[in-house]
């Protein structure tokens, strides 16, 4: 999970750079082409099993759709927002997961944790406020990321015990490539679906984006195979300071005082919820 926290913001930063010259859907397609090209041969070379139950394959398909949507939304958000702000807003996801568990799965959630969700969302609004003043409703893209990846995490948890992580990621890569290929084949010619021929100097960045993203999500999936999500969740908050450092070094961006206060509130309430979950376990 620590590896995910280091590599995922690097992949996002690379996508932010590339989004200046390439349509976002093309970047998403490249991301999954690299994933499939790396992991499918790796499954064969390491003699791993593709075996999953019929339900596992259906959930892998759903997981793929959610992952494609989440990556598209995050890349879109990064065309408007600083890296750290976008990731910090998306960290409303743990609160959404808790609420999904309560209202959809019927899990018992105490009043204190529900109150903490409210406080954490206020922290998210503190991060959003300066960005909303600058870019308007585009600040909602990271919220979309949060909802999509909350569902993605629930599905991943459901199948992480029965599926080999590399095989599952390889299958997701193949499904995404086929699905996006069909989109390009049957959709009308629009600017969103245009294909830009990359210049030679852009190829290393495109490859790096794909490899970093593939490795990050593989590490995250692998971590859920060996440890409970509640154990790993506190480490995920390290993604925010890592993103802030990368944003400062690459783009000269850094959250202002209000956004920093909001990030602190979000992290504190998230850790409180995890502590309450462990205390009541």
For the record, the structure tokens of 157 come out as: 């948890």
Q: Which residue has the tokens 């300071």?
A: 241
- 71 vs 3: CA distance, rounded Å: 18
Q: What is the DSSP letter of 107?
A: -
- 276 vs 232: CA distance, rounded Å: 15
- 143 vs 132: CA distance, rounded Å: 13
Q: Which residues contact 150 (CB under 8 A, 6 or more apart)?
A: 93, 96, 97, 100
Please tell me the number of Cα atoms within 13 Å of 65 on its side-chain side. 8
Helix segments in 21-164, DSSP class H: 24-45, 54-78, 83-90, 93-103, 111-135, 140-159
pTM for the model: 0.84
Angle, CA 76 vertex, CA 165 and CA 256 arms, to 5°: 105
From first to last of the 281 residues of the chain, give the pLDDT tens digit: 889 989 999 999 999 999 999 999 999 999 999 999 999 999 989 888 888 889 989 999 999 999 999 999 999 999 998 898 888 888 787 778 777 766 776 666 667 777 777 787 787 778 877 677 677 788 889 989 989 988 887 888 788 777 788 888 899 999 999 999 998 888 776 766 788 899 999 999 999 999 999 999 888 878 877 776 656 666 777 788 888 889 989 998 877 888 888 888 887 887 777 676 666 65
């Amino acid at each position: 999970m620590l590896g995910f926290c280091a590599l995922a913001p690097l992949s996002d930063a690379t996508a932010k750079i590339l989004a200046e010259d390439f349509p976002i859907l093309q970047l998403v397609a490249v991301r999954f082409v690299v994933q499939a090209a790396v992991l499918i041969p790796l499954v064969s070379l390491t003699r791993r099993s593709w075996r999953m139950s019929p339900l596992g394959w259906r959930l892998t398909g759903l997981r793929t759709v959610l992952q494609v949507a989440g990556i598209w939304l995050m890349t879109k958000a990064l065309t408007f927002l600083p890296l750290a702000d976008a990731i910090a807003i998306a960290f409303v996801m743990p609160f959404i997961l808790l609420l999904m568990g309560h209202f959809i799965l019927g899990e018992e959630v105490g009043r204190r944790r529900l109150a903490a969700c409210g406080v954490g969302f206020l922290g998210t609004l503190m991060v959003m406020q300066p960005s909303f003043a600058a870019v308007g409703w585009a600040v909602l893209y990271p919220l979309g990321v949060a909802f999509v990846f909350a569902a993605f995490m629930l599905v991943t948890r459901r199948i992480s015990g029965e599926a080999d992580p590399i095989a599952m990621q390889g299958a997701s890569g193949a499904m995404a490539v086929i699905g996006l290929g069909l989109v390009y084949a049957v959709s009308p010619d629009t600017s969103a679906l245009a294909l830009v021929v990359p210049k030679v100097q852009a190829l290393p960045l495109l490859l790096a984006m794909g490899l970093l993203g593939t490795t990050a999500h593989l590490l995250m999936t692998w971590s859920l195979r060996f440890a409970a999500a509640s154990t790993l969740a506190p480490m995920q908050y390290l993604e925010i300071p890592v993103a802030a450092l990368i944003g400062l070094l690459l783009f000269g961006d850094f959250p202002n005082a209000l956004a920093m206060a909001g990030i602190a509130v979000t992290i504190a309430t998230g850790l409180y919820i995890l502590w309450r979950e462990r205390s009541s376990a």
